[in-house]
Amino acid sequence: MTATSGSATHPVFHWFLPTGGDGRRLGGSVHGLEIGDAEARAGARDEGRRPASLDYLTQLARAADTLGYEGVLTPTGAHCEDAWIVTAALIAQTRRLKFLVAFRPGLVAPALAAQMAATFQRLSDGRLLLNVVAGGSDAEQRGYGDPLAHDERYQRAEEFLEVVRASWSGTRFDHHGTHYQLTGARLRRPPAPIPRVYLGGSSPPALQLAADHADTYLTWGEPVPLVAEKVDRVRALAAARGRTVRFGLRIHVISRDSTARAWQDAEALIAGLDDATIAAGQQRLRALESVGQRRMLDLHGGSRDRLVVAPNLWAGIGLVRGGAGTALVGAHDEVAERIAEYRAAGIDEFVLSGYPHLEEAYRFAEEVRPLLG
């Protein structure tokens, strides 16, 4: 199925804030998820590691701000620094950059989350975006003291968002649900503007939750026909509820002056991975409950020989990395052409990254974005 039309507005580009660390190579560790659980940090050889220090994250955030990115996605999970604290530390270091803060509904009470968001909006002058992450790994959720399984977490997330939005109205209310009980709740200083809510996931509960509550639905970088099919499905579900939703794509980029150099650098990212490391990583990722993660893994099946899954779409990152596992690889004009194809499929926003994140943020902004008009 093909999306009926692309977006009529200009594309919006965000960058990624690597709060689990950065580097020039992918290493042997297998990390968590991103949309649907947590953004996975890149493993790297010791000589190429960049710790997620406040100095480095500030440098990257200031670069994204100067380069004109709309915002930066900040992940959540056991592998990285806390997203709320990191982004709060960066508010005063940036001017217009927005912060797409990933957080998990099961780990904080909804009325408190609504208050945190309102405070962030006031301190940042309205620069908060919220990425609601229901959680895609039962094991990691249990490590935080959350016993709910995959589908139950989406049910709770729906109730969570109902309470958050009621809090943002500024009126006093009661809520008596399955997961939350509130009596006489009221947020005395609601946020202005109301933060946009981003949601991801590929399972039926995730798609329905996005249709009901998301301002922007996020998906990982699958081939264009698969992305278009998902866009059409969420759009139809949202229309049935009288809603419209924007769509975003989470993907890496390896854009160079020549096609040959781009593919050379892509291969260099995984040059240090042996077969045993890849097999162990694939086994662990396959055990996760995330439907989106399984779709990522099915693109290549763990084989080095199946990594080019569509024109200029490379799945090598997903050999050992959870979450977003694909990259647009090619000359600058080729990457721009592929982005235009996703735009035609209905994608409004792009959340990009690359290794190392600082250098790739400059390269995309200076070489690819001018080609997009």
- Count of alpha carbons within 13 angstroms of residue 121, beta-carbon side: 18
Give the model's pLDDT for residue 66: 98
Residues 354, 360, 366, 370, Cα dihedral to 10°: -10
Structure tokens at 284: 């662990």
The string of pLDDT tens digits covering residues 126-143 is 999 999 998 768 888 888
Alpha-carbon distances, residue 352 vs 67, 200, 213, 283, 362 (angstroms):
13, 15, 23, 27, 12
Specify the pairing of strand 327-331 against strand 246-256. Answer: parallel
Q: Which residue has the higher pLDDT, 6 or 97?
A: 97
Residues 30 and 98: their CA atoms lie apart, in Å, by 29
The string of pLDDT tens digits covering residues 54-98 is 999 999 999 999 999 999 999 998 889 999 999 999 999 999 999
Closest alpha carbon to 328 in 272, 250, 230 = 250
Q: What are phi and psi of 98, to 5 degrees?
A: -95, 160
182-186 CB contacts, 8 Å cutoff, 24+ apart: 182/111, 185/111
The string of pLDDT tens digits covering residues 322-368 is 889 999 999 999 999 999 999 999 999 999 999 999 999 999 999 99
What is the pLDDT averaged over residues 153-181?
97
Residue positions counted in the chain: 373
- Beta partners for residue 314, in sequence order: 308, 327
Give me Rg for the CA atoms of the chain: 20
Residues 63 and 66: their CA atoms lie apart, in Å, by 5
- Beta partners for residue 251, in sequence order: 352
Domain ranges of the chain: 12-252+342-372
pTM for the structure as a whole = 0.91
Q: What proportion of the chain, given as a percentage, has pLDDT over 70?
A: 92
Residues 106 and 37: their CA atoms lie apart, in Å, by 12
Domain 12-252+342-372, architecture per CATH:
Alpha-Beta Barrel (3.20)
